[in-house]
Amino acid sequence: MSTLTYNIAAVERDTGLSKDVLRMWERRYGFPTPERDGNGDRAYSADQVERLRLIKRLMDMGHRPGKLIATPYEELAALAPRRMAAGPAVPEEHTPELDELIDLVRRHEGGAYLQAMQQRLARQGLQRFVQDTVAPLAQRIGEGWEQGRVEVFEEHLFTELTKRLLRQSIATLPAGVRRPRILLTTLPGEQHLLGLLMAETLFALEGAECIPLGTQTPLLEIGRAAVAHRADVVALSFSAAFPLRQIPALLLQLRMGLDASIELWAGGTGVARIGETEGVVLMPTLDDALAALAAWRATDA
């Protein structure tokens, strides 16, 4: 058993469970049960962090935390069979070049991965690269993580290297007066940035001015930033990991806090699971994002 331990801040980042929740569960349920380090701070074992990560995943699927905490680990794993599956998934379409890129990530060859991606970018052009390489690759990496074939640190390597490449590509695009002005961010609890960065790349390529705020911006601050930057659009991204039941209410709350002249767009795989929301343009795919941009321009013309 690993002797590696994590402080409470690291556990919060890794699991998505807040420090207050971790402390409350410790008092109420007797789990987790951290040790204390030399400074008297909580120190969580790797086994506890893995169990907390699984509990958070099941909570996002609708299970109640009190019952999950009392459930043996083996039964928790059975509730999320995709993550524990040992066998490889069969892709819908055999794509050897994407397989080779994933193999570079799994072999931890970051330099070779970046070089191969740069070559594909040069061949495909930026729009096709985002839609035909980065988007399906991100999906495959996510599925590999869920099925236990891709480690967390490997998914992080893929994400960070790909973000670096997209940011470099955005920086090479010409400046000038560009419209619409699109403020891009995620809500608190949504740490995934890659989907938002893919949308930003396509918007910038199509001549929009993008104002990236990064991830987890509080609702009130989004409204203030939209005014300060004179934004025409606020664009949010929701991954499949974001709790489904929270999305509609959060969108409505933000919509009410924005000026009526500012459009609210919500994209990502998370919004594919919700119905129409008044005053919000839903964009489950990158094609939907480009369609929203075209529709805005048609209305503004």
**220 falls within a domain:** yes
Which of 138, 171, 204 lies at the terminal end of a domain, its last residue? 171
Q: What number of CA atoms fall less than 13 Å from residue 35's CA on the CB side? A: 11
Asked if residue 110 and residue 78 are part of one domain, the reply reads no
- Provide the edge-to-edge strand list for the sheet that holds 263-267: 209-212, 181-185, 233-237, 263-267, 280-283
Mean pLDDT of the chain: 86
H or E element, residue 87: none
DSSP state of 118: H
Shared domain check, 196 and 134: no
φ, ψ dihedrals at 275, nearest 5°: -85, 180
Residue 89 maps to a domain? no
pLDDT digits (tens, 9 = 90+) for 236-291: 999 888 888 889 999 999 999 999 999 999 999 888 878 888 899 999 899 999 99
| CATH number of the domain that residue 292 is part of | 3.40.50.280
**Is 284 within the bounds of a domain?**
yes
Question: pLDDT for 19-42, tens place per residue?
Answer: 888 988 988 889 999 999 888 889
In a domain, 90, yes or no: no
Residue 235 belongs to domain spanning: 181-300
Same domain? 214 vs 167:
no
- Torsion angle of C-alpha atoms 53, 55, 57, 60, degrees rounded to 10: -140
Q: Answer yes or no: do 185 and 292 share one domain.
A: yes
Q: Do 205 and 278 reside in the same domain of the chain?
A: yes
Percent of the chain with pLDDT over 70: 91
What average pLDDT does range 30-57 have in this prediction? 88
pLDDT at 164: 94
How many distinct structural domains can be found in the chain? Answer: 3
pLDDT band for position 177 (cuts 50, 70, 90): low
Q: Are 200 and 288 part of one and the same domain?
A: yes
Give the whole-angstrom CA distance, residue 15 versus residue 52: 7
